[in-house]
A and B are shown apart, each in its own frame.
Chain A
Amino acid sequence: MSFVTVRDVWQSYDGRPILERVNLDVDEGEFVSIVGASGCGKSTFLRLLLAQEQPTRGAIRIDGGHRAREPGRERGVVFQRYSVFPHMTVRDNIVAGEAFDTHWGRFRGAKLTAARERADAILDRIGLSHVAQNYPATLSGGMQQRLAIGQALAARPRILLLDEPFGALDPGTRIQMHDFLTELRAETPMTVFMVTHDLGEGFKLGDRVLVFDKPRWDPQDPAAFGATITYDFDARQGGIPFQGLLDKYPSLRAAE
């Protein structure tokens, strides 16, 4: 049984299919990049994974659990923008990752002190401890996204969903963020789905790269059919999975 299972998922808006027959199995700890042209339904697929929308047909399950009807703590998310709360300081944003699950949405007394210490540890790790008391609007785009990732991780989600998280960043910052995410994954294994427009980014970070496209196309009615996963690349080892094949199966080498 795989960790995340997507079974025969269809999604249509007003009778227009966006996604059709999407099937997917993802193991725990895998990093899945999702690429495709604009309007191919990859963001729709992410919203389905997030349970922000319900599929018209089919089911998405995490660890064999129930179909989720609304977003919850199982699924963490980082959007391209607006992922942090502008009215809270950087540290409070991290504390909110834990505190929002309580009845009043805030900690008091010893719990607050403990949560702040944990938040400071996270801020140290994501390199934002020097701006702990600032408001997010004063941070650069890259720092805001690092804060958003740290906040999502503070809630300890089972899967992390990234919706074009680095799309609004400049190329230099983007490369820094790649390193940051890679380091973070090396420290704490996590299952990640990332929607991106950048093929290179998808292959660099992902273990798998899924391509969404429409397998059927009616030139008279382009919206008649929905998209599905048309390619599922193994992106490990720089996207050349058969490079190590001879090491893995030495017997194949005999022909030399």
Chain B
Amino acid sequence: MRLINRVPSRPVGLMLGALPFVAIILAYVAGSEIRLAANPADKLLPALDTIRETAARLFTETDKRSGDILLWQDTFASLRRLFLGVGISALLSLSIGMAIGLLPYARKGLTGFVAVLSMVPPLALLPILFIVFGLGEVSKVVLIVIGITPFMTRDLSQRVLDIPVEQIVKAQTLGASSFVIALRVALPQVLPRLISAVRLSLGSAWLFLIAAEAVAADVGLGYRIFLVRRYLAMDIILTYVIWITLLAFVIDWVLKRISERAFPWMGAGL
């Protein structure tokens, strides 16, 4: 039987899915034990127990100076920036993308501009953003917006263009104005694409957020990671990395569920 036709059974499939995770944990534990055996004070690869203790401490113990739990503070600050940035990007790209997809004038005027804009490396603009918008919240949100909006706009405008021309003509023969076509034909069909575009760009959004926080911030997940890096506190860094991964995973899962619930016609075919 050909390899391409061999399908694993369900238990084997689950096992295969868990394999990479188990392998990386085993590799980490082995490396950690070797280093700790040579030098019990080694900080590079702390033992899993150390990480667990650190995590428990980070999630529950308050900071002696401020009386706040820093990890939650960091989480709220970062998520606020992330949601603001992604939300603004979603709105911007939805309106610009719909305009490009539906209106020939907007298409001629904006397509080239958006294409060039998406080539600009956003991180290279970070110093400019700090100079223009200061070191506060605005520059971090703007970096996310600049980073993911061009890509999402291109994706969404293409989705609008993918709507069969027959549907647009049909709507016109039913008397629909441009506005009604945008509102009742294009928008409902593009919204599920918007959610998948958001899901795809969340990775980049996190990247830009952590980069911005690493350079200049006084609270935030990225800020904390780059702060404790100076003390080689690998246990804290690893806890934060796992926490960020978990947050990203949950956000992605929630968006996926929303998409499935809100757009039942997508699952029905097409």
Binding site for B on A (CB under 8 A): 50, 52, 70-73, 75-77, 79, 81-88, 96-97, 100-106, 134-135, 137-138, 148, 151-152, 155, 157
Contacts and interface: CB of A to CB of B under 8 A. Distances in A.
Please list the 8 inter-chain residue pairs (A to B) with the smallest Cβ-Cβ separation, ordered nearest first: A137-B269, A101-B175, A105-B180, A82-B164, A100-B176, A71-B172, A82-B166, A100-B174
B6 interface: no
A101 B270 contact: no
22 contacts: A71-B173, A72-B173, A79-B170, A82-B166, A83-B166, A83-B170, A85-B167, A85-B170, A85-B185, A86-B269, A87-B189, A101-B176, A102-B180, A103-B179, A103-B180, A105-B183, A135-B265, A137-B265, A137-B269, A137-B270, A151-B170, A151-B174
Contact of B188 (A70, A87, A155): A87
Contacts of A72: 172-173, 175
Contacts of B166: 79, 81-83
Interface residues of B, number: 25
Nearest to B174: A100
B264 interface: yes
B256 interface: no
Given A77-B169, A79-B170, A83-B170, A155 B175 contact: yes
Given A100-B180, A105-B184, A86 B270 contact: yes
Q: Tell me what chain A mostly uses at the interface: helix, strand, loop, or mixed.
A: loop
Nearest to A76: B173
B95 to A, nearest CB: 18
Nearest to B170: A83
A135 B268 contact: yes
B171 interface: yes
Contact of A73 (B167, B174, B188): B174
A155 B264 CA distance: 27
B268 A137 contact: yes
B177 to A, nearest CB: 8
B263 interface: yes
A72 B164 CA distance: 18
